[in-house]
Amino acid sequence: MQIGITGTGSYIPKLVVENQDFEKSTFLNADGSTFKHENPVIIQKFKAITGIGERRYVEDNLNTSDIAFLAAEKAIADAGIDKEKLDYIILAHNFGDVTHGQSQSDTLPSLATRVKHHLRIKNPKCVAYDLLFGCPGWIEGVIQANAFIKSGIAKKCLVIGAETLSRIVDPFDRDSMIYSDGAGATVIESKNDAGQILAHASATHSFEEGYYLFYGKSYSSASDEHTKYIKMYGRKIYEFAVTHVPQAMHDCLTESGVAIQEVKKIFIHQANEKMDEAIVKRFYGLYDMEMPEGIMPMNIGKLGNSSVATIPTLLDMVRNGQVENQQVQKGDVIIFASVGAGMNINAVVYKV
């Protein structure tokens, strides 16, 4: 028996927000001062660095747990399983349900419990819990599901990554253009024809790096000082990521016993196009190789950075032929890798 992904599903919000929609925004520096450049210049530079041209926001009537449920339904149908046979529902997120127009996070009950409720699963032995691990949360959920199944305490797990970052961004912070909403779900189970997790690696760097991403007040002094938003030290994150993630991927691949030449695709957290390319180039540099063309599927240009949802939504889109010139086939070896708040990093070598 093998332990692998037997079904995927995603929810891509319908509301498209283009870069030009930010041209009338008031962007400020962290000290509240104004930028010397006009917004069109700021947006042009933003696009050149991140690769983001547009992003998706959820409809006002939906929340993180709602879109997680919608993605989960699709993954369960794709896997062709009985939802009552699920042993675990693991939902990776970072900010809970933040209702449109509100700023307070709601995690009571847990979002995983809400998804189980929406799925109308009666089986009390289906355990539902949330996972907070920054952007690498979905990968960490897959690692945990693999461990549960490998130990014999579970046979089928549902792992979801969902986030509505549009609800917790500071409109006066130009970094707000990075973030987006979305949900991706996967069914992990033990099955003869399933794929196989060949190796995995995780780490938390918190001694100096713990607060590279944090909750902070608005850059506008006119805003409510008690309302907090997602903030980050972008340069420090970039330097951290390109230093540590390639090595984690290398160590994981070494543990798997797979040769670098056998890797067909790398699904990396859609954080920043230039950063992602730098990570993968440095990874191949550890083998004195150039980064192969087409090795890294990307959808950040259209979908933005939806944190824990980026990799499972990208995987689902590639599996369904929705990313141009990208596909995975049975037997392909692929790598999942992510970096995010914590600072956490992880990687999985997976045989489709």
How does pLDDT run across 265-301, given as a tens digit for each residue?
Answer: 999 999 999 999 999 999 999 999 999 999 999 999 9
The confidence score (pLDDT) of residue 190 equals 93
Q: Which tokens hold the place of 196?
A: 């196989």
Strands 344-351, 213-217: pairing is unpaired
> Which residue, 183, 338, 203, is CA-closest to 275?
338
The confidence score (pLDDT) of residue 6 equals 96
The confidence score (pLDDT) of residue 101 equals 83
Categorize the per-residue pLDDT at 115 as very low, low, confident or very high, splitting at 50, 70 and 90.
very high
CA dihedral 106, 111, 117, 120 (to 10 degrees): 150
Residue 161: count of CB within 10 angstroms of its CB: 35
Q: In CATH, what number does 2-193 get?
A: 3.40.47.10
Q: φ, ψ for residue 21 (rounded to 5)? A: -70, -10
Percentage of residues in the chain having pLDDT higher than 90: 91
The confidence score (pLDDT) of residue 119 equals 98
How does pLDDT run across 171-221, given as a tens digit for each residue?
Answer: 999 999 999 999 999 999 998 888 899 999 999 999 999 999 999 999 998
How does pLDDT run across 160-174, given as a tens digit for each residue?
Answer: 999 999 999 999 999
C-alpha 145/C-alpha 189 separation (Å) is 8
> Which residue, 72, 172, 155, is CA-closest to 113?
72
> Which residue, 338, 130, 92, 341, is CA-closest to 216?
341
Q: Which tokens hold the place of 275?
A: 């950063």
Burial (CB count within 10 angstroms: exposed 0-12, middle 13-18, buried 19+), residue 171: middle
Categorize the per-residue pLDDT at 40 as very low, low, confident or very high, splitting at 50, 70 and 90.
very high
Categorize the per-residue pLDDT at 35 as very low, low, confident or very high, splitting at 50, 70 and 90.
confident
Listed by start position, the domains of the chain span 2-193, 198-351
**For the residues 242-249, what does the mean pLDDT come to?**
96
**Rounded-to-5 percentages of helix, strand, coil across the chain:** 35, 25, 40
**Which secondary structure element, helix H or strand E, spans residue 97, and what is its range?**
none
The confidence score (pLDDT) of residue 137 equals 98
Lowest mean pLDDT among 56-60, 101-105, 202-206, 318-322: 101-105
The confidence score (pLDDT) of residue 193 equals 82
Q: What's the distance, CA 145 to chain centroid?
A: 17
Strands 15-18, 127-131: pairing is unpaired
Is the CB of residue 341 less than 8 Å from the CB of residue 130?
A: no
Q: In CATH, what number does 198-351 get?
A: 3.40.47.10
The pLDDT of residue 103 is above 80: no
CA dihedral 258, 262, 267, 268 (to 10 degrees): 70
The confidence score (pLDDT) of residue 226 equals 85
- Any residues with CB less than 8 A from the CB of 32 and at least 6 apart, and which? 219, 220, 221
pTM: 0.94
> Which residue, 346, 281, 39, 274, is CA-closest to 176?
39
**For the residues 215-229, what does the mean pLDDT come to?**
89
**For the residues 118-132, what does the mean pLDDT come to?**
98
Q: How far is CA 179 from CA 19, 79, 111, in A?
A: 12, 30, 20
Strands 333-340, 263-268: pairing is parallel
**For the residues 244-255, what does the mean pLDDT come to?**
96
The confidence score (pLDDT) of residue 209 equals 94
Averaged confidence pLDDT in the chain: 95
The confidence score (pLDDT) of residue 310 equals 98
The pLDDT of residue 241 is above 80: yes
The confidence score (pLDDT) of residue 324 equals 87
